[in-house]
Amino acid sequence: MPLLNSILIIVCLLAVPVNASETQHFFFKHGFTAPYNQEYVNEVLYEPIDITPKIQPLELTFKEVRPITLTQFNFYLTQSLDVYTTYRGLKYPCVYETNPVVFGGAAPSAGELILFKVVFIGIMKRYFDSTRDWEYFQRYGGYTTGLAVINNLQVIRDAKDNCPRGPEGPASIVEGPRGPEGPASIVTGPLGPEGPRGPEGPARLRAN
């Protein structure tokens, strides 16, 4: 049987034209190369490599940008105003922060107030993971923070009238530099009115 198979394969190969058909390519690829020499087998099995660079078209996908809603604008605006008015109020010695969870304690800096807001909003965003819940939080959070801003403005107004001012520092004894002296004027000013004439003196006697 192996001899018969070999004879059939050789007959099939010889029956194929010399221009390397698909049948030759199939048999050569699977190791049945008799009675052809290796050089011819290599020519049949040679497959040119296409080195032409394949340029794929650039596909740009733009993510849909939704415009900011009135609820979002109100929420972030009130948060910013809360930080600003709190920082303004803390400049008075009688004003202090009453929120116990704010970074910096009773007298936080501007950076600590901003950091607290960023962390707070991030935690709330993660907690209210659904879009609907986050929108509700922004809506009511904007209202409550707006009330806090109004309270801060009232505290600042009261602090201006009631907070004692610190001692005034001593006046500086260093005189600042004087500016350059301007050029002398070459224009003569107008003459003033002529004054009254004085009394006439006694007549002089002539000698004879």
Mean pLDDT of 104-126: 89
The pLDDT score that the predictor gives to residue 206 is 47
Least confident of 85-94, 131-140, 198-207: 198-207
End-to-end CA distance of the chain: 189
Residue-wise pLDDT tens digits, 152-163: 999 999 988 888
Rounded Cα distance, 160 and 98, in Å: 19
Residue-wise pLDDT tens digits, 18-53: 455 666 666 666 666 667 777 777 776 666 666 677
The pLDDT score that the predictor gives to residue 28 is 66
Residue-wise pLDDT tens digits, 62-92: 677 778 889 999 999 999 999 999 999 998 8
The pLDDT score that the predictor gives to residue 208 is 42
- Residue 90: DSSP 8-state: T
Least confident of 7-11, 40-44, 119-123, 163-167: 7-11
In the chain, where the domains are located:
2-45, 70-162
Confidence band for 166, pLDDT divided at 50, 70 and 90: low
Tokens of 33: 């190369």
- Residue 35: DSSP 8-state: T
Closest to 111 (Cα-Cα) out of 76, 79, 87 = 87
